[in-house]
Amino acid sequence: MKPTLLLFFITFLAIEIGVAQEDTPSIITEKSIKRLDSTLKSFVDNRDVAGVSALIYEKGEEVYYNAFGYADLKKQKNMERTTLVQIYSMTKPITGTALMSLYEKGKFSLDDPLEKYAPEFANMQVYKGVDSTGKMILEPLKRPITIRDITRHTGGFTTRNDILGLSAALRLADPFDWENDLNQMASRLSKVPLWFQPGEKWEYGPSVDIQAFLVERISGRPYAEYLQEHILGPLNMEETRYFIPKSDQKRMSAAYSHDKLGFLDQQDDQESHAYNYGKWSLTPGGWGLTSTLDDYMKFAQMLVNKGTLNGIKILEPETVELMATNHLDESIKDRSWLPSKGQMGFGIDFAVRLRPPTSKKENNGVVGEFFWDGAASTLFWVDPVNKLTVVFFVQIFPFNGVLHKKFRDAVYGPVSIDTTGK
């Protein structure tokens, strides 16, 4: 092919690809914006929450932002774009990203035994129940805990408070005392038996706190410093922090629950924010960070861009794909409450959607999306198919998944089930 014809062909192909991308139907339209506004406003009007905000990017552009209600109901301070919230378990994917940055450097393999880097977790015992005197019955590990186990919550660790004998042992060890550093946390946790044999169940728990400890152990750097130097700093996530200085505390949203009559009950500010208003030795990997909509959106945009944002590479595309791939074998049937999220598997610190909803009661979404949420009912997701990233902030306890169902339906439209069998 002659150079001029080749140049013409390449130019034509580029134009066609560009047109095809532009012709891809948008998810966020005028109709969905009205639906989103109505839904978010209803959360406040119905007293589900005091305040709510949401930010959506599509194909790299902001396509939706709005906020309703109050960050501080008593002081009548509006929920705003710059409001700081406690993101709780939305800390976990950030920790996973820090850990996987070390994976890219060849510092470990996912199927390496945890004890290779953390001898504290060698020769652990596994809970089998209690005898007639209430003493725990224990058995040895059938196989070592792997790093993959702690990235997909199959390591056997738990923080449940209702397991005879085991929960009491966990309380006595008190690994998550805020005065403990990560080394002390790991040492204390390693002395508590596992609830089940590694790989036998999916059980949400302290695995990501162990990931933070691993980052510290492998890198030789304090976890918070490594996180700042390799993730938060490069992404310019200046508002994502453990400790909130006095000057910024006025931007923190209050935390809420409901009283017996269903009215919103605003929690004491100093009590609910005690961790973030102090400086503690513990820098957990599974919770503890605060953020703003725009700050967390930077993290989500990095992920949808396969590891890069504004020319700054945090992870390789292959690593993001690995994190967003299901790592839960179908043989793992006991999955606690994970099925309540929908047709999900679990990757590396993300839930991963495997199949479309099978009923209208399920959360809407697109196969291939990956996401996580937080104890105060915050939520984010990455939809690679539509290049969509979403951050949703409220501060309500206990966790309210109904809000997420309604919000997802507002984004994508109500769940539609194919009844044709095609």
Q: Is the pLDDT of residue 16 over 90?
A: no
Q: Is the pLDDT of residue 20 over 70?
A: no
DSSP characters over 237-284: -TT-BSS--GGGGGGBPP-EEE-TTS-EEEPPHHHHTTTTTS--S---
Of 222, 229, 215, 240, nearest to 151 (Cα)? 215
Name the residue with higher pLDDT: 144 or 17.
Answer: 144
Q: Are strands 256-258 and 264-266 parallel, antiparallel or unpaired?
A: antiparallel
11-20, 57-66, 150-159: the lowest-pLDDT one = 11-20
Q: Helices 207-219 and 182-189 sit at what angle, rounded to 10 degrees?
A: 130
- At 23 the pLDDT is 57
Instruction: Read off the pLDDT of each residue in 286-313 and give the average, rounded to a whole number.
Output: 98
Please report which confidence band the pLDDT of residue 417 belongs to, taking 50, 70 and 90 as the band edges.
Answer: confident
Please report which confidence band the pLDDT of residue 21 belongs to, taking 50, 70 and 90 as the band edges.
Answer: very low
Please report which confidence band the pLDDT of residue 381 belongs to, taking 50, 70 and 90 as the band edges.
Answer: very high
Structural tokens at position 122? 């060698």
Identify the residue whose tokens are 């590990």: 141
Q: Is the pLDDT of residue 50 over 70?
A: yes
Q: Is the pLDDT of residue 15 over 70?
A: no
- At 271 the pLDDT is 96
Instruction: Read off the pLDDT of each residue in 203-209 and give the average, rounded to a whole number.
Output: 97
CB atoms within 10 A of CB 341: 19
Segment holding 408, helix H or strand E: helix 401-412
Instruction: Read off the pLDDT of each residue in 221-227 and give the average, rounded to a whole number.
Output: 98
Q: Is the pLDDT of residue 101 over 60?
A: yes
Virtual torsion, Cα 146, 151, 154, 156, nearest 10 deg: 70
Calculate what percentage of the chain has a pLDDT beyond 70: 93
- At 420 the pLDDT is 59
Segment holding 323, helix H or strand E: helix 317-323
Residues 6+ apart with CB under 8 A from 324: 303, 347, 350, 352, 368, 370, 382, 384
Catalogue all structural domains in the chain, each as residue range(s) with its CATH number.
26-86+238-412 (3.40.710.10), 98-223 (3.40.710.10)
Of 408, 410, 304, 393, nearest to 357 (Cα)? 408
- At 3 the pLDDT is 45
- At 353 the pLDDT is 97
Give the Cα separation of 238 and 245 in Å (integer). 12
18-32, 274-288, 325-339: the lowest-pLDDT one = 18-32
Please report which confidence band the pLDDT of residue 419 belongs to, taking 50, 70 and 90 as the band edges.
Answer: low
Look over the chain and give the mean of its residue pLDDT values, rounded to a whole number. 94
Contact 195, 170 (CB under 8 A): no
Residue 207, classed as helix, strand or coil, is: helix
DSSP characters over 127-190: EEEE-TTSPEEEEE-SS--BHHHHHHT-SS----S-STTHHHHHHHH-TT-TT--HHHHHHHHT
Instruction: Read off the pLDDT of each residue in 289-303 and give the average, rounded to a whole number.
Output: 98
Instruction: Read off the pLDDT of each residue in 248-270 and give the average, rounded to a whole number.
Output: 96
- At 226 the pLDDT is 98
Instruction: Read off the pLDDT of each residue in 271-299 and give the average, rounded to a whole number.
Output: 98
258 forms beta bridges with 264
Contact 340, 331 (CB under 8 A): no
pTM of the full structure: 0.93
